[in-house]
Structure 1
Amino acid sequence: MGAESNLTEKVLALVVQPPESGCAPSSRPRDAAERAIDGAASKAALAAGTLALPPGPLGWVTIAPEMLAVWHIQRQLVADIAALYGRSAELGPAQMLWCLFRHTAAQALRDLGVRVGERVIVRPAAQVLLQRAAEAVGLHIGQKAASWTLSRWVPLVGAAGVGAYAWWDTRQVGRAALQLFEQEQVIDNPV
């Protein structure tokens, strides 16, 4: 229970306060976002691959820092894409959680948003809803982290695999942010 709640707290900490972006709105936001996705994916692959190099039990100690390093790169990517589209003001916890984990824990995030035609309807994220989604994401990630421990026994091959996964995962986060901020977004605030 302790590890699960710790992971849930880490997930919530990532999304509660989106980072500031140094990017200005772009006249060609899609092109700029594609470049940002490529850069962030490469950076995440390098960070994850490097942290996955230590073998055996020493390598297990690097799993949490590796995940956190990749998540910080990804959350900055989401903030940068929102800024490139001139939509930083719309970036809140629900949008951050949606972009970061939609591709890995879609079922857990089904209550946060839905795509309807050309619009994305994002429900306001009450603390209870964020907590529940973060718990489900944390459980999913905990299970995935257990499988990542195997990569620590074959350092070079494992590091290459972990780096490749971080590259792919970061591209998925970027694609989710691109899709979210390219579309009209409706914040569903029930009265």
Structure 2
Amino acid sequence: MAGELQFRTATVDDAEELRQLIEAAFRAEDSRDGWVDDLGLGSGFRLELDVVLGIINDSDSAMQMAFDDNGTLLGTVTVAQREQGRGMIFHLAIQQQHQQGGLGRKILAYAEDYGQQRWGITRVGLNALSTRTLLISWYMRRGYVKTGETTPFPRDKIPDSVTPDALYFVELEKIVGLES
């Protein structure tokens, strides 16, 4: 990938391509223990088109698309405004053939900046599955800290998978701007 990434906000015309990208990225195999889970959750991950369209059409959220100089879609991330000054980042996804090349770091930084510029976000949150210890460490190296809060894993979203009772999301947060 030569040059700088180019970004634009997704439109409804991008919804199906983004749904496929996010599903593929979340299902991607990775040999690093603790990066992706060994529970088979990725293979059961489904993202409904209506969810993507809902995000695109919500004025409090924006799906950002990252392209190379040739116009090839490399990745995406969603940033959303929550309450005043707070935001959330989710659906950070990189095309499988471009993973492990530093794109995630660049796209995450762009999402943080986008949230600051668009909504004045000063604190941004995200979460990761408790089993994804390397991913949690990766976020922490980017300045995120564990809040001490957790969110239950939505077992009803993947009814055919066997998940341990202790599976949950670890909540993380980062200060990204000056607080008022």
TM bucket by the smaller chain? under 0.3
Compute the TM-score of the two structures, normalised by the length of structure 2.
0.26
Of Structure 1 and Structure 2, the greater helix share is in: 1
Q: Which has the higher contact order (CA 8 A, sep 6+)?
A: 1
- Structure number with higher strand proportion: 2
